[in-house]
Amino acid sequence: MKNEERYNHLNKYLKEKFGERTLKICIDGGFTCPNRNGTISTNGCIFCSEKGSGDLIKYNKDISKQVIDYFSSYRSERANKFIAYFQNFTNTYDSIPNLKSKYDSALIDDRIVGLEIATRPDCINEDICKLLKSYSDKYYVCVELGLQTSNDKTGALINRGYSSNQFTDAVKLLNKYNIDIVAHIMVGLPEENFDDVKSSVDFINTHHIQGIKIHSTYVIKNTVLADMYFNGDYTPITLDYYLNALTFIITHISPEIVIHRISGDAPKDLLIAPEWNLHKKWVLNGFDKILRENDLWQGKYYKKK
Ligand code: SF4
């Protein structure tokens, strides 16, 4: 088996779906988050940066202008098809007319074939699903849902502000509208161990989702997690631990799920620890080696629930 066939890589999935290489345009929609603006909390999740987990986006301007700038740059020369990806903060946290206006502002170029929206499970409701569904005639529509862990005790510790049951409710609602879901999970959250990795995988396997983003917990500047790290209350995981966890996750999840990410993209200027997080290749190559040497593949140990 070729190594690229050992798991369902996003690039391969998009190529098959759209017939050619398809890239994401990361957009800052100017949203906030109920876990930031005081509705649930003002502190946010303990690992969340000032930019709401979208630190690699350099823009903070009009949505259409961001798209126009993207297409005027060399980046747009690498493909002919693109997905408008609303990444920062909670991209369904607004009134329906405002959401529609923001999404429409991004869908201004014929090369855009998809709309991807990152959000929280408690910011999904029937009206939002109907709005998202209304784009599906013309676009591939996908919602990224935070989960991080199925352990609600950790959820409280990281100040996530929603429960795993709320994740389940959001998944059911999106399933009802046949909207694709990508779940986020994190390895190495405070006070978690390998049993939590196993539980989160079991939990994911009981849901009808189409994709997953996996990354290790990293500490960046100006976060509660950074305070915990400097106080000695949090120790980041090692690269070996992460690779073992990643191997467990990939070999135990459904072979149908598309793997959108297997490593975090910590911003270099903001990263405090762990240092290995800056070396994406270490994760990608290390993981490929484990799969190859042990003849492993996605879903090898998956048991349908
Ligand atoms: S839900 Fe997302 S944007 Fe909101 S505080 Fe948590 S990580 Fe940050």
Residue 243 lies in a domain: yes
Residue 302 lies in a domain: no
Atom of ligand 1 nearest to the CA of 33: 4
CA atoms within 13 A on the CB side of 246: 27
The CA-atom distances, in angstroms, between 208 and each of 46, 88, 139, 144, 203 are 28, 25, 21, 13, 11
Is any atom of ligand 1 closer than 6 Å to the C-beta of 35? yes
Residue 303 lies in a domain: no
Distance 148 CA to ligand 1 centre (A): 11
Residue 300 lies in a domain: no
Write phi, then psi, for 20 (nearest 5 degrees).
Answer: -165, 170
CATH code, 31: 3.20.20.70
Residue 39 lies in a domain: yes
Residue 305 lies in a domain: no
Atom of ligand 1 nearest to the CA of 49: 8
Closest residue CA from atom 2 of ligand 1 = 89
Number of domains the chain contains: 1
Mean pLDDT of 56-74: 83
Pairing of strands 81-86, 219-220: unpaired
Residue 301 lies in a domain: no
Is any atom of ligand 1 closer than 6 Å to the C-beta of 44? yes
pLDDT of residue 271: 95
The yes-or-no verdict on residue 60 having pLDDT over 80 is no
Nearest alpha carbon to residue 41 among 122, 124, 152, 101:
122
Helix (H, G, I), strand (E, B) or coil at 102: helix
Is any atom of ligand 1 closer than 6 Å to the C-beta of 33? yes
Domain that holds residue 167: 3-294
Distance 35 CA to ligand 1 centre (A): 6
- Encode pLDDT of 207-219 as tens digits: 999 999 999 999 9
In angstroms, how far is the first alpha carbon of the chain from the final one? 27
Rounded to two decimals, the pTM is 0.95
pLDDT of residue 266: 84
